[in-house]
């Protein structure tokens, strides 16, 4: 249900009443909420149908570092700019009393997430049929392509961020929607790249694992990992440790998918999970393939392309293709009272458009600077050395801090051990 004080602040600030907690993540807690017309303010009445359900992501701001604070508000701005049938829609957002929390109210997907569907089918030993896999893949590709065309990099695409909801077509099927834009990033241009290592380890691309700059093709790699997961009901790359997982992603191959799936699907996975990002297809190239096009039954790719042309001012949103007309010809009259000449109207040639100019990215010149020299007091230097040894011990032995300190005490390190305890205790 959530904390009573938090629930009261939410309903008092908006009219959304908390029903239950759905989950907790690194950047916030998700609650199922419903609209209460009686408890909302007069200025908010009629904004939503009474009893309407949604998901409220609660981000505590009181003790949030500045970087995460900015990311929370960036998520709101990104969701406001994204309007696509396969992206979770923003319903509302507001701050609670005294700005203690940011509440992001999103569309409620009533059938869970794709990760839950994979787990359910794993327990039942029931593989997902290829038409269903490809329908969901096309919907995810369309959503990613929509974001990339607007210079938005998701950076955390995974099966638990792909949500299932009942299809509005009324055929009893499910559609997918991509959500959770907490660590997404806006790239200023088509050749810009990001360099921060973020995301879930199972879905990290080789360029991210190698700490290289990455771009939209990193999202495509994650999409390929989700596609493989739907086919095999397990991750494409798994390891006992993070280092082992990174090695497999960078250097090793994955297990082939079951033979019941078509050769076209196997080829699609091989192309997407290409180690080299330059050889990996883009979202636009994927959706242009004949095999993939077969599963875009509603023609959403053409709708997205038309909307993009409208956004760029190339054509109106409701425009229809005009018939091609030939230049009018001169008409010769059969009888004429006098000399009369009719002019031939020629079509005015259209000037050729200038080809788009591609900006070349060049690395800034490297300037070597001497490392700054800092002088530390002896007691602070000793404390830092001890902390470094403790950290290494924790990583190597997988022990808690108390076991590490005891081991150092038995190793006749009593002087530093006692000094550290005097400082902190």
CATH class given for the domain over 114-304 = mainly alpha
Q: What is the pLDDT of residue 371?
A: 45
Residues 61/67, Cβ–Cβ less than 8 Å: no
As a whole number of angstroms, the distance between CA 201 and CA 307 comes to 34
Spatial CB neighbours of 134, under 8 Å, sequence gap ≥ 6: 265, 292, 294, 295
Structure tokens at 11: 């309903």
Nearest alpha carbon to residue 158 among 91, 204, 122: 204
Per the annotation, the verdict on 156 as an active-site residue is: yes
Cα–Cα distance measured from residue 102 to residue 187, given in angstroms and rounded to the nearest whole number: 25
Residues of the chain with pLDDT under 50: 1, 187-193, 195-198, 317-348, 350-351, 353, 366, 368-369, 371-372, 404, 406, 408-414, 416-417, 421-425
Phi then psi for residue 33, to 5 deg, are -125, 155
List, in sequence order, the alpha helices (H) in 82-129: 114-124
**Closest of 165, 53, 173 to residue 113, by C-alpha:** 165
Give the burial class of 101: count Cβ atoms within 10 A of its Cβ; 0-12 exposed, 13-18 middle, 19 or more buried: buried
Q: Please state, in angstroms and rounded to a whole number, the distance separating the CA atoms of residues 181 and 156.
A: 8
Dig out the tokens for 30 from the structure.
């998700």
- In angstroms, the CA 87 to CA 78 distance is 11
Q: How far is residue 74's CA from residue 152's CA, in Å, rounded to a whole number?
A: 12
3-state class (DSSP) for residue 388: helix
> Degrees (nearest 5) of the Cα angle 251, 182, 77?
130
Task: Give the DSSP H/E element, type plus range, for residue 22.
Answer: strand 16-24
**Are the beta carbons of 119 and 94 closer than 8 angstroms?**
no
Look at the block and give the residue holding tokens 């010149």: 365
Question: Are 50 and 35 within 8 A, CB to CB?
Answer: yes
Closest C-alpha among 242, 231, 240, 161 to residue 201: 242
C-beta of residue 143 within 8 angstroms of C-beta of residue 78: no
**Active-site residue, selected from the candidate residues 92, 113, 156, 219:** 156
Q: Is the alpha carbon torsion for 54, 55, 61, 66 positive or negative? A: negative
Burial track 241-280 (b if 16+ CB lie within 10 A, e otherwise): eeeebbebbbeeebeebeeebeeebeebbebbbbeebeeb
CATH 3.30.200.20 is the classification of domain 4-40+47-106:
yes
d(CA 272, CA 219): 10
Identify the pLDDT of residue 343. 45
Give ∠ CA 293-294-300 in degrees, rounded to 5: 55
**Tokens at 200, concatenated:** 């879930």
């Amino acid at each position: 249900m959530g904390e009573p004080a938090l629930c009261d602040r939410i309903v008092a600030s908006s009219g959304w009443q908390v029903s239950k907690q759905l989950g907790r993540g690194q950047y916030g807690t998700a609650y199922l909420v419903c609209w209460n017309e009686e408890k909302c303010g007069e200025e908010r009445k009629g904004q939503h149908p009474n009893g309407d359900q949604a998901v409220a992501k609660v981000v505590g701001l009181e003790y949030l570092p500045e970087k995460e604070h900015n990311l929370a508000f960036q998520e709101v701005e990104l969701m406001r700019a994204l309007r696509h049938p396969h992206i979770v829609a923003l319903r509302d957002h507001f701050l609670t009393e005294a700005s203690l929390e940011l509440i992001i109210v999103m569309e409620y997907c009533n059938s869970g997430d794709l990760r839950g569907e994979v787990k359910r089918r794993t327990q039942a030993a029931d593989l997902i049929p290829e038409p269903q896999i490809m329908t969901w893949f096309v919907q995810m590709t369309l959503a990613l392509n929509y974001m990339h065309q607007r210079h938005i990099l998701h950076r955390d695409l995974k099966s638990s961020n792909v949500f299932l909801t009942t299809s509005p077509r009324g055929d009893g099927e499910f559609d997918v929607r991509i959500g959770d834009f907490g660590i997404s990033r806006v790239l200023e241009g088509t050749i810009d790249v990001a360099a921060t290592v973020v995301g879930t380890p199972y879905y990290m691309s080789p360029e991210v694992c190698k700490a290289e700059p990455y771009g939209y093709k990193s999202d495509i790699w994650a999409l390929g990992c989700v596609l493989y997961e739907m086919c095999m009901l397990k991750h494409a790359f798994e390891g006992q440790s993070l280092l082992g997982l990174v090695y497999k992603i960078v250097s090793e191959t994955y297990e082939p998918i079951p033979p019941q799936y078509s050769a076209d699907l196997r080829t699609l996975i091989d192309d997407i999970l290409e180690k080299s990002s330059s050889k990996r297809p883009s979202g636009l190239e994927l959706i242009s393939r004949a095999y993939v096009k077969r599963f875009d039954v509603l023609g959403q790719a053409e709708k997205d392309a038309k909307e993009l042309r409208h956004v760029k001012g190339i054509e109106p949103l409701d425009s229809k293709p005009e018939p091609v007309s030939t230049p009018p010809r001169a008409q010769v009259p059969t009888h004429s009272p006098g000399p009369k000449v009719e002019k031939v109207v020629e079509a005015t040639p259209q000037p050729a458009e200038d080809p788009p100019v591609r900006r070349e990215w060049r690395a800034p010149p490297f300037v070597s600077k001497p490392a700054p020299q800092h002088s530390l007091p002896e007691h602070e230097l000793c404390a830092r050395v001890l902390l470094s040894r403790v950290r290494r011990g924790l990583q190597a032995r997988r022990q808690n801090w108390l076991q590490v300190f005891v081991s150092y005490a038995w190793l006749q390190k009593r002087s530093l051990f006692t000094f550290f305890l005097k400082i902190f205790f």
